[in-house]
Amino acid sequence: MVMTNEQKRLVRESFESIREVAGPLSLLFYGKLFELAPDSRKMFHNDLRLQGLKLMDMLAATVEALDNFEGLRLKLGELGRRHAGYGVRDEQYDVVRKALLWAIGQALSGDFDSRTREAWSVLIESVNEAMKSGAGVKV
């Protein structure tokens, strides 16, 4: 998926607010993920705070690479291969997208308007596609 310049701007601007609440946002994300897909909980053996830091680091790297997403595609593909080794299935990517959009919406509250939500949705879907491609899933 290709993001418009307006979508990139919205993601960048909203990420500044997200960064300020990274810890709570990641815990909200995992809570929602486990609510939507209880079976996914068994894939997480690490401290969720540590896992949340990894998630936020990946989000930061993705936001920083908005103008050169192709440069990040190889890393995302490798991440997808690793996740496939952990047992992540194709259909779980959509659950992750839903949980992450929900958590971002909680963090941004009234600033998460329909345009900002769509911008984040496009970005997350682009990440998912790159990861699934790396895992050998047809996208």
- Cα-based distances in Å from 15 to 12, 34, 91, 105, 116: 5, 24, 26, 12, 10
Choose between 85 and 113: higher pLDDT: 113
Query: 36-80: per-residue pLDDT in tens?
Result: 999 888 888 778 888 888 899 999 999 999 999 988 988 999 998
Provide the CATH number for the domain formed by 5-134 in this structure. 1.10.490.10
Q: How do the domains of the chain map onto residue ranges?
A: 5-134
